[in-house]
Structure 1
Amino acid sequence: MQQAPPTLAVANPRLLGLMRETVLPPLLDAFTDVVDGLREPLLEQGARLGIDPAPLIDGLYVMRQQREAVLGAFRTHLFRAWQALESGAPLTSRLSFDGRATNLDLVEHDELEVQLAVHHLADALTREWQSQLLSLNSYLTWIDPGLRMDADSNPFSPAQIAMGVYEGFSAVSLPGVMRVNAVECCERVLIELVGPIYETVYAILAREFGVPEKGSGQARIAHIPSTGAESAEPEPDWLTRFFGEWEVGEPGQAAAAARSPTAATPDDSTLPPALHRLLEDSRAAREEVQGRDPGMSGPRNTLSQRELVSILTLLQIAPDESIAAMVRPPGALLPRFKKQMFATAALLGVEARAVKLSAADENIVDLIGMLFQVMFDECDLSPAQREVLGKLIAPMTKVALQDRQLFLQATHPARRLLNVLAEACEGNHGQSGEERELLEKVEATVGRLALEFDESQSVFRALRGDFNLYYGEYRRRADIAERELAERQRLDEALEKARNWARAALQSRLEARVIPAPVRELLQARWAAHAAALEAGGKGHAALMQIDGLLQALESAQKEGPAARWDSVVDWLQPVWLSSGKSRTEIAAARTAMMEALHQGAMGHPTAMPEVPGDVVPETALPSVPETHASPLVSVSPLSREELEAGIEYDNVTAEYFSNLPVGTWLDFVGRDNRVQAGKLSWISPISSRLLFVTRSGARIAVASAQELAIMVKLDRLRLHRPDDAFHSAMQGVIDRLGPVAAGQSVAA
């Protein structure tokens, strides 16, 4: 997470102009590419959805004839957003459609579909580039003290881009189905192009105002705080430590490198010298501990990088058995990777014992091998999933040998493909049909990469775009399941609160009162449930009026003695019988039985309440309200009953940390079998302050209080989860494992 930049003392119109010149041209080019390349993806999508191609073809003809009007409307909206900002009255980024689609006839229905697609486009861009937007927002807040521009008035925000797309396709008369599908097709291209633009803007801001104090990298993972824990200054992350001063010089060069990964860089190395030295020290330390292979110690020729890439290309298409032998056994991935690489060299007629890697190339091979080892250790992956992702080791090594942007840019296509595939696999145990289909899609994507990746990295972008079409729908379904789960938890907690209220209200009214046994039994058995249902619906006062009226009528009847009429008392019980679902016949029988029992009691001959059809009285005095769901959520705790009853003292500092945990935070839950499962904080109850954690598929993991989570930390059952960027997190893990080398300690493979 970025540190807040220094406050600006004066407005900076030159900077605004520079930003506009940096942002607008690539955005306009991106939309132009979408419009010009719309025919093929539009017809493919129409065929996939079973849409009549005739209106799509008609719409494509109209767009070809009025191309400039479409592009001009998009351009005009973005220019208008910048002009509004520079005039001191920035446009809001909230989507606004000027009150269109107010009726529900056919035309208006199509308009509503278009607006929903625009909302989805904005949401997709925001979700995809959330970290880049967060990095920018701290600067944008202070870009001009008079404007106080923030995320809501950002002229290049996802919402403004989506609105520009909407205006572009609204500028000409297109069939509704054409507009909907055109907006949806924009998502695939724009998602890939917007991120590098945001990174370029950040580079300009950092160059103009200075990099925040802690550097431009992501924040290091901190330990969960506790009493007595040292609050030392966090160490810089790997990106800041090694790459902070080793980047492409001009911000424009970063954008050019993003568009053309083969562009020349200031030097040929893809790693900074300090990291090269650390990797060499690590390798020397491992060889000292493990010993050098005697057969590899003689004079050997150094493989050129081109020869190494050829070997990796063969390993990239190696049989599944070779990949499985390399990645399935736990640990020691790097030596198995290098062994398999030299074994593959034999297919090119190269004697493994007669060749070696250059020091620089071997450093990169070591780095990628260790990176995948850390990623496999951090992620909740099955052996089969490790084997699938293991097929990416050779392609990622080839990219790392040739393109430094893999390490410098979070938007790099190869890095982003690895991240999304790891995310799709993590914690996915294939328990549902949708989860199994997702894993099959991951396997198919990796298989295509192994067959198609040669030199051009465009295959990473194309495969990720294709995978995102499927994964986006999967995530939307997961989001819906997550929201439904939170709503169920809210309803359950509201009902539990109503139960407690009903029990307390009944208990306070029955104490110190002489209540006929039949009435007491009925109230204890039925009224608590009846009152809880009313309270949960916001009508608890009606239940209190009923019982107070009943008790008042009962008191009056008791004063009259044997001659009392009990009709008024029984009338107050009518709602209780109704709420229990009794039929009219059963209610009539219950009334008669209650009247008879009360009369016998008043005559001095108390009798038990006779059994009435359909009237089953629970054994407990104050029963719980029947559950509205098959598996209630309100009582689900990650701790066992024995752990809850053990009286383990929790740390107040840790509990306070969880009390302020922001929604969206990921934690690792460690089971009693040491299985680790990642869970996201999805919802915090406004009733009980309990926290609901879910998996990536939207399934529940736990519902727990801050105190219960603090106990889990004490039991080593809970820890912070790595950042969602699997590549970044794994790189940090590699550097942390290499750290002991700098201190002169030995390092395991």
Structure 2
Amino acid sequence: MHNDGKVVPINKAHATPSPLARLPVVLLQVRDKAAQQLQQGLQDLFDNADDTLFEMADKARSNVDHHIFFEAMRDLRLKRKNFERVFMERLFAAFASLGEAGRGELQLVPLVSYEAAPTTPRDALEKAVALEAMLERVRHRDGLALAQLTARLSAVLGSHLAECENPLGPALLCECFLQAGRSLGVEIRVKLIMLKLFEKYVLSDADQLYGEANQLLVATGVLPELKAAPSRRAGERAAREQRREEALPPTELPVDEGGQQAFAALQTLLKAVRGSVAPTLEASHQPQPIATRDLLRLLSHLQQYVPTPQVEDEFDLRNQLEQLLTRVSVKSGKSRVVEEADEDVINLIALVFEFILSDCTVPDTFKSLIARLQIPMLKVAVLDKGFFSHASHPARRLLNDIAAATMGASVGEDEPRDPLYLRVEQLVQRLLNEFVDDAAIFSQLLTEFRAFTADEQRRSALLEQHTREAEQGRVRTDEARQRVADALNRRLLGKVLPQVVVQFLQQAWSQVLLLASLKHGEQSVHWQAALRTMDDLIWSVGLHDDTEAGRRLLEQLPGLLKALRDGLNSAAFDPFSAREFFVQLQALHVQPAERIDGLIEVREPFVLGTLPGEPAIDLPSDDPDLLKVHSLRVGAWILRQQDANVALRCKLAAILAPANTYVFVNRAGLKVLEQSPGQLALAFKQGSLQVLDDSPLFERALAAVVDRLRQLNHAK
């Protein structure tokens, strides 16, 4: 946002606060309170700017626009911290200027108008119009509170303060925003989007900003007689909360007709682990089973005490139930135990979760959240044995969807700021708070979670496609560079030529050849013409002794010079450097060959672009780990151990010819890893790479538990 709009900058004489400037304590309190709110508003702005620009890229009708918005997203991510820092510095400088002499001479109001001068660029006009409209909306909406704040600041300072000098006025806040945005290298459309977001996430809360500042001043006795402006936000927030709490109508769970039979088959295997949930009482007490409804009541009680993910202690469900049963037994004087069928359900769920929490497909950061689902899932299974037999059961699908969505979340991510982590945490907490015995909540949460993940998947798919196309373009460029280098080396290696010509071919004409190769291909007339021009140039400065060659040079020289100029123009080569080369070339053509200075023999091969990477890892074609690499499919997730503390979760997005380079992306669709087949095979051998199983987690867990139970029964 360089030169952003007709905003008169803060007077340079007052840009740096004087060390002698002193503000009353109450103004420092107003400043710090406002800074806190504005900081939060800027964070919300940047958090949502990414989504907004992504949507713009998604709707872009051309590749150019698509690229512009993606580059803007990248620029904002890189410069976000600096942007916020500069904004706060400008805000503090505006407050500091209140305590300086000559404050009344400052002009800080944005001078914007629809009446733009004829010479005003269109971009500046658009920004001017947007700024003026923003300021007018704030003044119309929150003008009373702003006027009261300005009056109170004037009273504290003991001199008249104009609205344009109010550090929290919309004019100065816009000034701070525009100054902070000078470092952003984005075009006008993005700048206007940022201005709209600034209005939405910062200026739209101006009434709260002014209201709290006025309250601080009133509390210290500054113009308490001014009647406070009514808050428009309270009603809006209440309405938003009410809309947010409006839930979808619950859907009924499918009736299970074969669930009991399937569970009965599982019970024969569960005999091996019975007796693990019982009160710790002496054997003389006669066991008395508790009814299923009482078990559900106990589980609902435990559900309220499930530890948060931040608590490191493991929550052992069976141990917690034993303690509860012991307390109930002591109180009743009877040994209370769970019924056989209910104990089987408890053991089966416990074993399933043991598998889930040890499975590498679930990131450690999410395991603590999923572990909290154990009691809700157990209650569902107690209520409905079809939970174990029907893969379409909403509770099972919800668990599977959570596991599938979190599989790509790399360990070490900042989960409190991660939208997926926050959504899963919210979902788990709702189940713990709301689920008693109506399992319809699982259908509702499943619908909501799938809507969330569908949006994430759409975003990541678009970014992944962008990454794939960029990588394919890079490979094409690398191939074209190699073709150009090969063409130059075939013509130059071993030749003795003027140094200026060699440098011209390697530094300038190589770009002409590269452009022809990328745009038109090796079979095109453009590529062939560029090669002929290069051959003619090399011949023209060669050591020719016969006069016939001289006559031929005179005939061909005009065409050669024109072809050289046309080629350089097509590659947008620097005109000054081009003129300098043609002067030197003319000198080479008019003097005898034996008198030419600066002849060199080309001995080193020319390399265009980056040097080759790591040497290839040579493995036999039937190497087992190399075969595992070749069996990887696009879309497969892997876990790559970077070092002892860092593990990278990424998805295979593309296998790029001709070197079969494997390109991996993260959950957001951005490239995070590029490996050759040999490098991946070596990682398999070292145990630092494993392919993640993306089949439904609950089904895998149940199959593993059944396997384990069969082994226990056979051992007995």
TM-score (norm 1): 0.53
Aligned pairs for 1:452-531 within 5 A: 452-511=434-493, 513-531=495-513
Q: 2:529 maps to which residue?
A: 545
Question: Quick check: 2:352–2:702 contact (8 Å CA) kept in 1?
Answer: yes
Q: Distance in 1 between matches of 2:416 and 2:584?
A: 55
Residue by residue over 1:59-111, the C-alpha shift from the partner in whole angstroms, topping out at 9 and shown as x without a partner, is xxxxxxxxxxxxxxxxxxxxxxxxxxxxxxxxxxxxxxxxxxxxxxxxxxxxx
Q: Distance in 2 between matches of 1:576 and 1:434?
A: 55
Aligned pairs for 1:433-444 within 5 A: 436-444=418-426
Aligned pairs for 1:198-213 within 5 A: none
Q: 2:301 maps to which residue?
A: 314
Q: 2:654 maps to which residue?
A: 683
Question: Quick check: 1:280–1:359 contact (8 Å CA) kept in 2?
Answer: no
Q: 1:411 maps to which residue?
A: 392
Q: 1:735 maps to which residue?
A: 706
Aligned pairs for 1:178-189 within 5 A: none
Give 1:663's match in structure 2, choosing from 606, 620, 634: 634
Question: Quick check: 2:365–2:415 contact (8 Å CA) kept in 1?
Answer: no
The 3-state SS of whatever aligns with 2:651 is strand
Structure 2, gaps ≥5 residues long: 1-51, 53-246
The 3-state SS of whatever aligns with 1:309 is helix
Residue by residue over 1:134-185, the C-alpha shift from the partner in whole angstroms, topping out at 9 and shown as x without a partner, is xxxxxxxxxxxxxxxxxxxxxxxxxxxxxxxxxxxxxxxxxxxxxxxxxxxx
Aligned pairs for 1:496-645 within 5 A: 496-511=478-493, 513-540=495-522, 541=524, 542-556=526-540, 558=542, 559=544, 570-574=561-565, 577-578=568-569, 581-596=572-587, 602-607=593-598, 622-625=606-609
Aligned pairs for 1:277-356 within 5 A: 277-282=268-273, 299=285, 300-321=287-308, 324=311, 327=314, 336-344=316-324, 354-356=335-337
Does the alignment pair 1:272 with 2:243? no
Change in CA separation of 1:367 and 1:432 when aligned onto 2, cut-off 3 Å: same
Q: Distance in 1 between matches of 2:618 and 2:630?
A: 20
Q: 2:668 maps to which residue?
A: 697
Q: Distance in 2 between matches of 1:326 and 1:314?
A: 19
Does the alignment pair 1:397 with 2:378? yes
- Specify the code of the residue in structure 2 equivalent to 1:387: S
- Specify the code of the residue in structure 1 equivalent to 2:596: H
Q: Distance in 2 between matches of 1:729 and 1:475?
A: 24
Q: Distance in 2 between matches of 1:351 and 1:624?
A: 85
Q: Distance in 2 between matches of 1:380 and 1:317?
A: 28
The alpha carbon displacement at 1:546 in A equals: 1.7
Residue identity (%): 21
- Specify the code of the residue in structure 1 equivalent to 2:500: P
Question: Quick check: 1:525–1:622 contact (8 Å CA) kept in 2?
Answer: no
Q: 2:33 maps to which residue?
A: none
* Structure whose CA Rg is larger: 2
Q: Distance in 2 between matches of 1:351 and 1:645?
A: 73
Residue by residue over 1:526-549, the C-alpha shift from the partner in whole angstroms, topping out at 9 and shown as x without a partner, is 444442332122344423422323
Q: How many residues align?
A: 458
Q: Distance in 2 between matches of 1:322 and 1:350?
A: 32
The alpha carbon displacement at 1:736 in A equals: 4.1
Question: Quick check: 2:619–2:626 contact (8 Å CA) kept in 1?
Answer: no
- Indicate the RMSD between aligned Cα atoms, in angstroms: 4.2
Moved more, 413-422 or 533-542: 533-542
Q: Distance in 2 between matches of 1:279 and 1:620?
A: 75
- Specify the code of the residue in structure 2 equivalent to 1:314: H
Q: Distance in 1 between matches of 2:330 and 2:669?
A: 50
- Specify the code of the residue in structure 1 equivalent to 2:296: V
Q: Distance in 1 between matches of 2:290 and 2:604?
A: 81
The alpha carbon displacement at 1:593 in A equals: 3.1
Give 2:427's match in structure 1, choosing from 432, 445, 456: 445
- Specify the code of the residue in structure 1 equivalent to 2:533: G
The alpha carbon displacement at 1:476 in A equals: 0.7
Question: Quick check: 1:380–1:677 contact (8 Å CA) kept in 2?
Answer: no
Question: Quick check: 2:366–2:406 contact (8 Å CA) kept in 1?
Answer: yes
Q: Distance in 2 between matches of 1:345 and 1:622?
A: 81
Change in CA separation of 1:739 and 1:270 when aligned onto 2, cut-off 3 Å: closer
Question: Quick check: 1:302–1:355 contact (8 Å CA) kept in 2?
Answer: yes
Question: Quick check: 1:314–1:344 contact (8 Å CA) kept in 2?
Answer: no
The 3-state SS of whatever aligns with 1:515 is strand
- Specify the code of the residue in structure 2 equivalent to 1:271: F
Moved more, 393-402 or 417-426: 417-426
Q: 1:718 maps to which residue?
A: 689
The alpha carbon displacement at 1:494 in A equals: 0.9
Question: Quick check: 2:629–2:681 contact (8 Å CA) kept in 1?
Answer: yes
Change in CA separation of 1:712 and 1:498 when aligned onto 2, cut-off 3 Å: same
The 3-state SS of whatever aligns with 1:669 is strand
The alpha carbon displacement at 1:697 in A equals: 2.8
The 3-state SS of whatever aligns with 2:673 is strand
Structure 1, gaps ≥5 residues long: 1-48, 50-187, 194-258, 328-332, 610-618, 628-633, 636-640
The 3-state SS of whatever aligns with 1:320 is coil
Residue by residue over 1:14-52, the C-alpha shift from the partner in whole angstroms, topping out at 9 and shown as x without a partner, is xxxxxxxxxxxxxxxxxxxxxxxxxxxxxxxxxxx9xxx
Question: Quick check: 1:316–1:392 contact (8 Å CA) kept in 2?
Answer: no
Q: 2:102 maps to which residue?
A: none
The 3-state SS of whatever aligns with 1:272 is helix
Q: 2:342 maps to which residue?
A: 361
The alpha carbon displacement at 1:321 in A equals: 4.9
The alpha carbon displacement at 1:577 in A equals: 4.2
The alpha carbon displacement at 1:741 in A equals: 1.9
The alpha carbon displacement at 1:448 in A equals: 1.2
Change in CA separation of 1:445 and 1:646 when aligned onto 2, cut-off 3 Å: same
Q: 1:388 maps to which residue?
A: 369
The alpha carbon displacement at 1:397 in A equals: 0.6
- Specify the code of the residue in structure 2 equivalent to 1:339: N
Change in CA separation of 1:267 and 1:450 when aligned onto 2, cut-off 3 Å: closer
Residue by residue over 1:550-602, the C-alpha shift from the partner in whole angstroms, topping out at 9 and shown as x without a partner, is 32354256436797666655554435644664332332123223433565672
Q: Distance in 2 between matches of 1:573 and 1:322?
A: 69
Change in CA separation of 1:575 and 1:687 when aligned onto 2, cut-off 3 Å: farther
Change in CA separation of 1:626 and 1:699 when aligned onto 2, cut-off 3 Å: same
The 3-state SS of whatever aligns with 2:471 is helix
Q: Distance in 1 between matches of 2:274 and 2:327?
A: 27
The alpha carbon displacement at 1:320 in A equals: 2.8
